Amino acid sequence: ELVLVYHSVGCIDRQNDPYKINVTPGLFKKQIEFLSCLKKKEIILTFDDGFENIYDVVFSLVFRTW
């Protein structure tokens, strides 16, 4: 079992991300592609706060990859 926690996935300038908690869509895509190659039975992705970019970016990348 693998659990990954994300806060935000979007194109946010690092200068405007004071806590450095954003992941760019490109980096998230690479992570999802890597995870899809693992032989894990359960991979759990969690997202804090329900930002709109989770719906806009994450759903399309995850469903295209898995």
Q: Could you report the per-residue pLDDT of 14-48, keeping only the tens digit for each?
A: 777 777 888 999 999 999 989 888 877 788 999 88
Is there a contact between 21 and 50 (Cβ–Cβ < 8 Å)?
no
pTM of the model: 0.79
Rounded to 5°, the CA angle 19-25-30 comes to 110
Per-residue confidence (pLDDT) for residue 13, from 0 to 100: 78
- Report the alpha-carbon distance of residue 66 to residue 53 in Å, rounded: 19
